[in-house]
């Protein structure tokens, strides 16, 4: 097969806040330093800017003010400034307002934004600098200069192969087949987001998680609603703890009033819950049925739905950030502050720092790990460490229950993390850093009943309807992009875990159906997939691998 090969100086995989900030910073440094311009390319699996971007989102503008000081005159869509913060503890029927708002929940100075719109704007700034962003081009595999042999002689990363187009279900070329291209780069910056599948290849091939604590994740399920104007003052921020989550589930909700009656509402649940039949999507429906929340949404209309994982493990879970020929930034490097549920400004900052190191290395003619290591030094002396290090164990502490977690978080906050020991990973996590079961000891015979919620299609919706509101589209005649070893599903998973994929997937991708022979078989509705990555994280046997589908396909998160 003839593959096109392209040569660039710097290749950036992923046009989210991290990747676009890296691109913009490269352009800025280039302008400031002059000399021969570097060739820079960005590849992104979404068909256009912002389409695969889902977040809360409260933007801490601290990094933006450094990256684009004149952002206001350049029309940055900063939405609505936060006007008031509220935090409640919910029981099934009631709510209690916390008398003080803990520092991580104080949001004055932050803005309620649509990350999708913000990313669109950031992309326009990058393109205005003459940098090519290739929309609808997923990176499919990492390219090495020789087969990976991490122990003897680690290979150099020389770029990325993009996905083929025009293959049918069986993987055979259809009429308009186009093989993916090999993009060779002196430095590849992996900005492929939470559980990025190329970064996952680096974990597998180069053991970049060795020495770090196991990654930890949450799933965030989000809806946009239009409610009668005046129901919530624009700029109102509400966070809740407690119901519908139980003591053993860590998480909470948000409601952000964006203006014009538009509300961003969502629930985040730590993915180390022990009950394999717990269903985060159902928990979100219960949450909306709470009298307090129902009162806010009543008479309103759902506009969009989506879900995405969040890397919540914090500072100690960052993988090796620099390699021969590569750097890792943003969510792919687990740079999220889970106590504040904020990662956009950290992703942007890590992108900027990676750009500075990549630029120096390319100009200096040496892009080996020993030179690119300067990125790690930059991170360690930056606001990323100042913010993440003191909170480094907070998510892990919540793995020991709400009370233990709250106490730990409180002490961490007041002592700036100094008095607390490192906790290590959650006891349920296995040794392999990326392929691990989160179900601890739970087996089917000790499960609590499923948390299914009533669906009325006004306030609560089933997963298929949710997938419809996510705007997801995938051509059905293409290779399934969820690589599943189904023999496990058809043999032991039912008796051991009760098929948790049916529960944890927020878009009904996994269904157990009649096999016509008196048994049940797994049906994969890949076209519903909202690219949240939860299945890749939560399958207890490590037999589900998410890879990018054909370029341009997936959810359509306009306004999210």
Ligand X SMILES: Cc1cc2nc3c(=O)[nH]c(=O)nc-3n(C[C@H](O)[C@H](O)[C@H](O)COP(=O)(O)OP(=O)(O)OC[C@H]3O[C@@H](n4cnc5c(N)ncnc54)[C@H](O)[C@@H]3O)c2cc1C
Asked if residue 308 binds ligand X (CB under 6 A), the reply is yes
Q: Which of 9, 40, 45, 287 binds ligand X (CB under 6 A)?
A: 45
Sign of the torsion formed by the C-alpha atoms of 458, 459, 462 and 463 = positive
Tell me the C-alpha distance between 389 and 43, whole Å. 31
Question: Do the Cβ atoms of 15 and 133 come closer than 8 Å?
Answer: yes
Asked if residue 46 binds ligand X (CB under 6 A), the reply is yes
Tell me the C-alpha distance between 334 and 348, whole Å. 13
Residues 230-249 that bind ligand X (CB under 6 A): none
Window of 73-81, 193-201, 292-300, 538-546 that interacts with ligand X by CB under 6 A: 193-201
Going residue by residue from 117 to 156, which x/- string records binding to ligand X, judged by CB under 6 A?
A: ---------------------xx-----------------
User: Of 165 and 499, which has the nearer Cβ to ligand X?
Assistant: 165
Q: How far is the CB of 94 from ligand X (least distance, A)?
A: 26
User: Of 142 and 297, which has the nearer Cβ to ligand X?
Assistant: 142
Q: Which of 192, 223, 279, 539 binds ligand X (CB under 6 A)?
A: 192
Window of 186-194, 364-372, 374-382, 467-475 that interacts with ligand X by CB under 6 A: 186-194
Q: Which of 8, 12, 321, 341 binds ligand X (CB under 6 A)?
A: 341
Q: Which of 9, 16, 186, 314 binds ligand X (CB under 6 A)?
A: 16
Asked if residue 357 binds ligand X (CB under 6 A), the reply is no
Q: How far is the CB of 366 from ligand X (least distance, A)?
A: 27
Question: How big is the CA angle at 328 (ends 47 and 194), to the nearest 5 degrees?
Answer: 55
Asked if residue 507 binds ligand X (CB under 6 A), the reply is no
Q: How far is the CB of 107 from ligand X (least distance, A)?
A: 9
Compute how many other C-beta atoms are within 10 angstroms of the C-beta atom of residue 432: 14
The DSSP string of 324-375 is TTEEE-GGGGT--BTTTTB-HHHHHHHHHHHHHHHHHHHHHT--SHHHHTHH
Question: Do the Cβ atoms of 98 and 88 come closer than 8 Å?
Answer: yes
Q: How far is the CB of 506 from ligand X (least distance, A)?
A: 11
Q: How far is the CB of 327 from ligand X (least distance, A)?
A: 13
Window of 201-209, 341-349, 479-487, 492-500 that interacts with ligand X by CB under 6 A: 341-349
Asked if residue 193 binds ligand X (CB under 6 A), the reply is yes
User: Of 49 and 361, which has the nearer Cβ to ligand X?
Assistant: 49
Asked if residue 342 binds ligand X (CB under 6 A), the reply is yes
Q: How far is the CB of 310 from ligand X (least distance, A)?
A: 4
Burial of 261 (0-12, 13-18, 19+ CB in 10 A): middle
Tell me the C-alpha distance between 43 and 331, whole Å. 17
User: Of 214 and 549, which has the nearer Cβ to ligand X?
Assistant: 549
Window of 30-38, 63-71, 192-200, 203-211 that interacts with ligand X by CB under 6 A: 192-200
**Any idea which residue has 């002689």 for tokens?**
153
Q: Which of 41, 43, 189, 537 binds ligand X (CB under 6 A)?
A: 43
Sign of the torsion formed by the C-alpha atoms of 217, 58, 122 and 381 = negative
Asked if residue 540 binds ligand X (CB under 6 A), the reply is no
User: Of 217 and 438, which has the nearer Cβ to ligand X?
Assistant: 217
Tell me the C-alpha distance between 493 and 364, whole Å. 53
Q: How far is the CB of 46 from ligand X (least distance, A)?
A: 5
User: Of 56 and 209, which has the nearer Cβ to ligand X?
Assistant: 56
Tell me the C-alpha distance between 494 and 508, whole Å. 17
Please give the size of the binding site for ligand X, defined by CB under 6 A.
44
User: Of 139 and 242, which has the nearer Cβ to ligand X?
Assistant: 139
Asked if residue 17 binds ligand X (CB under 6 A), the reply is yes
Residue 418 carries which DSSP code? T
Question: Do the Cβ atoms of 373 and 322 come closer than 8 Å?
Answer: yes
Asked if residue 14 binds ligand X (CB under 6 A), the reply is yes
Tell me the C-alpha distance between 94 and 38, whole Å. 59
Tell me the C-alpha distance between 265 and 278, whole Å. 20
Burial code (b: 16+ CB inside 10 Å, e: under 16) for 307-317 equals bbbbbbbbbbb
Q: How far is the CB of 514 from ligand X (least distance, A)?
A: 35
Asked if residue 18 binds ligand X (CB under 6 A), the reply is yes
Going residue by residue from 396 to 415, which x/- string records binding to ligand X, judged by CB under 6 A?
A: --------------------
Burial of 235 (0-12, 13-18, 19+ CB in 10 A): buried
Asked if residue 313 binds ligand X (CB under 6 A), the reply is no
Tell me the C-alpha distance between 313 and 395, whole Å. 6
Burial of 229 (0-12, 13-18, 19+ CB in 10 A): exposed
Asked if residue 49 binds ligand X (CB under 6 A), the reply is no
- Which residue, 20, 25, 13, 133, is CA-closest to 360? 25
Going residue by residue from 268 to 287, which x/- string records binding to ligand X, judged by CB under 6 A?
A: x-------------------
Tell me the C-alpha distance between 404 and 420, whole Å. 13
Q: How far is the CB of 56 from ligand X (least distance, A)?
A: 3
Q: How far is the CB of 156 from ligand X (least distance, A)?
A: 20
The DSSP string of 2-17 is ---EEEEEEEEE--SH
User: Of 6 and 447, which has the nearer Cβ to ligand X?
Assistant: 6
Asked if residue 549 binds ligand X (CB under 6 A), the reply is no
Strands 132-135 and 40-44: parallel
User: What are the helix (H) ranges across 98-250?
Assistant: 115-128, 197-206
Sites of contact with ligand X (CB under 6 A): 13-19, 43-46, 52-58, 115, 138-139, 191-194, 196-198, 220, 222, 266, 268, 308, 310, 330-331, 336, 341-345, 347, 548
């Amino acid at each position: 097969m003839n593959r096109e090969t392209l040569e660039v100086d710097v290749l950036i995989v992923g046009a989210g806040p991290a990747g676009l900030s890296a691109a913009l910073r490269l352009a800025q440094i280039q302008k400031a330093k002059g000399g021969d311009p570097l060739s820079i390319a960005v590849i992104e699996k979404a068909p256009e800017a912002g389409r695969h971007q889902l977040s809360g989102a409260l933007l801490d503008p601290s990094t933006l003010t450094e990256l684009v000081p004149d952002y206001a005159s350049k029309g940055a869509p900063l939405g609505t400034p936060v006007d008031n913060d509220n935090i409640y503890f919910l029981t099934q029927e009631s709510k209690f307002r916390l008398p003080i708002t803990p520092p991580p929940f104080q949001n004055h100075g932050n803005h309620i934004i649509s990350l999708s719109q913000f990313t669109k704007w950031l992309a326009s700034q990058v393109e205005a600098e003459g940098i090519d962003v290739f929309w609808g081009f997923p990176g499919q595999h990492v390219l090495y200069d020789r087969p990976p042999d991490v122990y003897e002689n680690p290979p150099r990363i020389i770029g990325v192969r993009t996905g083929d187009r025009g293959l049918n279900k069986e993987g055979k070329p259809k009429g308009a087949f186009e093989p993916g291209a090999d993009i060779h780069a002196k430095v590849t910056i992996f900005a492929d987001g939470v559980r990025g599948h190329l970064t996952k290849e680096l974990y597998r091939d180069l053991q970049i998680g060795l020495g770090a604590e196991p990654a930890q994740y949450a799933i965030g399920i989000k809806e946009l609603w239009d409610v009668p104007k005046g129901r919530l003052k624009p700029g109102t921020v509400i966070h809740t703890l407690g119901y519908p989550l139980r003591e053993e589930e860590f998480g909470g909700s948000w409601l952000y009033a964006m203006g014009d009656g538009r509300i961003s509402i969502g629930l985040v649940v730590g993915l180390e819950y022990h009950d394999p039949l717990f269903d985060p999507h159902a928990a979100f429906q219960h949450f909306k049925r709470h009298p307090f929340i129902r009162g806010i949404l009543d008479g309103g209309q759902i506009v969009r739905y989506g879900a995405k994982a969040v890397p919540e493990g914090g500072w100690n879970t960052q993988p090796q950030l620099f390699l021969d020929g590569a750097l890792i930034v943003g969510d792919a490097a687990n740079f999220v502050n889970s106590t504040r549920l904020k990662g956009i400004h950290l992703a942007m900052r890590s992108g900027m720092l990676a750009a500075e190191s990549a630029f120096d290395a390319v100009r200096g003619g040496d892009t080996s790990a020993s030179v690119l290591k300067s990125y790690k030094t930059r991170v360690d002396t930056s606001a990323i460490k100042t913010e993440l290090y003191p909170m480094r164990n907070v998510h892990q502490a919540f793995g020991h229950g709400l009370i233990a977690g709250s106490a730990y978080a409180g002490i961490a906050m007041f002592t700036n993390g100094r008095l607390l020991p490192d906790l290590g990973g959650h006891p349920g996590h296995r040794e392999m850093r990326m392929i691990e079961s989160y179900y601890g000891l739970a087996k089917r015979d000790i499960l609590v009943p499923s948390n299914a919620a009533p669906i009325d299609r006004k306030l609560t919706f089933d997963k298929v309807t949710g997938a419809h509101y996510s705007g997801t589209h995938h051509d059905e005649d293409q290779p399934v992009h969820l690589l599943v070893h189904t023999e496990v599903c058809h043999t032991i998973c039912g008796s051991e875990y009760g098929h948790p994929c049916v529960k944890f997937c927020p878009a009904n991708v996994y269904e157990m159906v009649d096999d016509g022979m008196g048994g049940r078989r797994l049906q994969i509705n890949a076209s519903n997939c909202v690219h949240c990555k939860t299945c890749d994280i939560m399958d207890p046997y490590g037999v589900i691998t998410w890879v990018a589908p054909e370029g341009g396909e997936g959810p359509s998160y306009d306004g999210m």
